[in-house]
Structure 1
């Protein structure tokens, strides 16, 4: 399986603070890549760099053999994205909000109904966006990422605000997408149990540094060899983060 997204020494600094610190990622075509880390670890900043929303301080990346920034426009045509809390025109309906995106992307009119149906919003398409619940806004944001069936999806916390039933439904949808549409998904989430159920590969960030990248099974094997808890992703994640934080404290004292 070839890599469709590759970053090399990607770094984002703000004065003396490094939000993303020299990370190199390899995201395989057709895979679901779970991007994990505590709040402030650099996940959203990395995703924003891949979308051209903020410029790297150092390093570079390629998406589908295209380089940034030279091929920025062509890269963005291949990506559907959901970053943080999506914003919409409150006095337009969900359908009208999606239709704006459809027109920009020059997609057929039918793509709006298809996207609404995918995320379970068909019956609420004509409701004003300002009257949507938080969970419905999350679904509308996901619909805006899925419209036109892009080959790459970058999803930042897509199940925030959903009830358990909605989380289950969206998780199953995301899990099905690579086979249904031959797409690749980079997804971040604080719900590690959900990522464990859908991800092929895992990347773990802490303080902007990549602590681990590889398959979930390789992570389990590495945890066992190191004498760590390997029964579930959450325990492995917390152990890895705690160890890295302890090492940082030790280095700071030297």
Structure 2
């Protein structure tokens, strides 16, 4: 494993019967970076993230996280990761603070960790409000606080800005962008808001039908797109053109 990478996958594959959700995936996620993981619905992004978290097992291949190998080091890997996958689940009859307190105790963190996480996501004034009375945007923030608590070295965030208004989206993007420098962590983030990803990510991985179309720094994507005849004015147009071209190639097969 290359020391500059904190996560690497080797032919990582996940099949469900005749359907292959992730196919021979080789990712290289640089330590201390924000890695934007992109793809249309059903491309395999969430499945890949769930494999990293041990929520589903690979059919083939494996991965290394911080020099630990799945499945041998599964429990040790989980201790290094804070995650936010799909819609976060909470105890609705407990306050936001109480929900985070459960996570804090499980992880054996100091009591100050809850206060810190609430402040990071802007929920301090709503800490004693029942979680079932949180708006969708507040629930997203609480889920993000649960991922950030204790400042884990790796964060896996799946659509962290769902349900947020433009101000909230800007705040979360600014927060994610600041995390590598502030807490010496690496962030793998999936989002459909490509203009936001363009503003926060160092590197990009583009997935379609479970296969990696591109991986590398944002500036390299522009050169790749130009050589391939794709638009280069912004990430969204480049992404849509790449997905469309790949889909057309698949229809010919």
| Common fold: TM-score over 0.5 | yes
Q: What CA deviation, in whole Å up to 9, does each residue of 1:80-113 have, x standing for no partner?
A: 0000000000000000000000000000001001
CA distance in 2, matches of 1:56, 1:139: 30
CA shift, 1:69, in A, is 1.0
Aligned to 1:95: 97
**For 1:55-70, what aligned pairs fall within 5 Å after superposition?**
55-70=57-72
SS at match of 2:118: helix
Q: What CA deviation, in whole Å up to 9, does each residue of 1:212-244 have, x standing for no partner?
A: 101111110011112210010000000000000
Among candidates 110, 130, 133, match of residue 131 of structure 1: 133
**For 1:188-203, what aligned pairs fall within 5 Å after superposition?**
188-203=190-205
CA shift, 1:174, in A, is 0.4
Aligned to 2:145: 143
2:105 aligned with 1:106, yes or no? no
Runs of 4+ aligned structure 1 residues displaced above 2 Å come to none
Aligned to 1:243: 245
Aligned to 1:218: 220
Task: Give the TM-score, by structure 2 length.
Answer: 0.98
CA distance in 1, matches of 2:228, 2:205: 18
Instruction: Identify unmatched segments of 5+ residues in structure 1.
Output: none
Aligned to 2:231: 229
Aligned to 2:49: 47
Instruction: Identify unmatched segments of 5+ residues in structure 2.
Output: none
2:170 aligned with 1:168, yes or no? yes
Count of equivalent residues: 251
Among candidates 17, 20, 27, match of residue 19 of structure 2: 17
CA distance in 1, matches of 2:229, 2:245: 12
CA distance in 2, matches of 1:250, 1:227: 20
CA distance in 2, matches of 1:177, 1:215: 18
SS at match of 2:192: coil
Task: Give the TM-score, by structure 1 length.
Answer: 0.98
SS at match of 2:225: helix
CA distance in 2, matches of 1:99, 1:214: 38
Aligned to 2:76: 74
CA shift, 1:11, in A, is 0.4
Q: What CA deviation, in whole Å up to 9, does each residue of 1:35-76 have, x standing for no partner?
A: 000000000000000000000000000000000111111111
CA shift, 1:114, in A, is 0.4
CA shift, 1:190, in A, is 0.2
Among candidates 109, 116, 119, match of residue 118 of structure 2: 116
Alpha-carbon RMSD across the aligned residues, in angstroms, is 0.6
Q: What CA deviation, in whole Å up to 9, does each residue of 1:107-153 have, x standing for no partner?
A: 00010010000000000010000000000000000000000000000
